[in-house]
Amino acid sequence: MPLDTVFRGRKPDGILKDQPEEEKKKNLILGRIMRLRGLEEGVNSGGDVDTYARYIYIHGTNQEGKIGSPNSHGCVLLASENLKKIFDETEDGSIVYIEK
């Protein structure tokens, strides 16, 4: 998919430039989705904290100027060029360590 593809419900839903202006104001999921699964029971796995069940991703955003500040419900937001590189270099099932 092109890096400006908008995803809704994990399915492509057009490209950014064709979205209504009201939608463009939101933090949209763009380009790629790398869905995360936590490995630490009670921290990011199981119950109300389960990363996979909460649909926590690494994904692109239309608000790249806000990267590095809280702007999602737990997702890791990346600039398109970084997202493509990580997506292309990471195999499905890889362990990803995320730290501040």
Other CB atoms closer than 10 Å to residue 27's CB: what's the count?
Answer: 15
Share of the chain above pLDDT 90, in %: 90
Is 80 strand, coil or helix?
helix
pLDDT at 100 over 90: no
Task: Place 73 in a pLDDT band, splitting at 50, 70 and 90.
Answer: confident
pLDDT at 35 over 90: yes
